[in-house]
Each structure stands twice: as C-alpha cells, then as structure tokens.
Amino acid sequence: MRLYLVAYQTHQAEFVGAAIVEAFDPYLARERAEADGIHQPGAMSTVTQVAAVPPDLIGRKLSPRDVKKLVTSGPKKPPAPSVVA
C-alpha cells in the first residue's frame, strides 16, 4: 500500500485539516479517511502521494503542529545559483 496525504480546504481555500492514510490509490485514500472519521464534511479534498512519513502521523487527523513537522522535515532546498555565485 502507498501513503497519501489527504488535505481538506473550504471553498474559499482555507485549510481545515489533513490526514495521512494508507491506500492503494487516491480514490481509496479519500474513502479510507472517511471510514476512519477523519473526513471534513463539506470540505474539498486534495490527495497527494507521499514517500516517507513518521509512523505516528499515519491514520489520524493531523494538528497544525503535525503539518508543520511534515513541511519542515523534508530535504532543504539548495540556495539559488545567483546567491551562491
């Protein structure tokens, strides 16, 4: 199975929640989030496959602190070539 980040937003593009679920495809990831009670009723969802995630974040609704942990734990971007020169 693959890991998917399911992010929810309002129709005004305001972030309302996210979850990481295990599923075979993006459609089943949405279904899994709904079955686990993570789904945000009335919110639009975006599903993105992710490569590696800390195990304690899988299968539950993520807090804003958890989302920040995910964003900052990835590889650092290299400096722009114009800055390095």
Q: Residue 22: its pLDDT value, please?
A: 93
Q: Residue 76: its pLDDT value, please?
A: 73
Q: What is the mean pLDDT of each run of 10 residues along the chain (85 residues)?
A: 89 86 93 86 87 86 82 74 67
| Alpha helix ranges (H) inside the chain | 26-35, 64-73, 81-84
Q: Residue 13: its pLDDT value, please?
A: 81
Instruction: Give residue limits of the domains in the chain.
Output: 2-64
Q: Residue 36: its pLDDT value, please?
A: 85
Q: Residue 84: its pLDDT value, please?
A: 60
Residue 31 dihedral angles phi and psi, to the nearest 5°:
-65, -40
CB atoms within 10 A of CB 40: 19
- CA nearest neighbour of 45 among 9, 21, 3: 9
Q: Residue 70: its pLDDT value, please?
A: 78
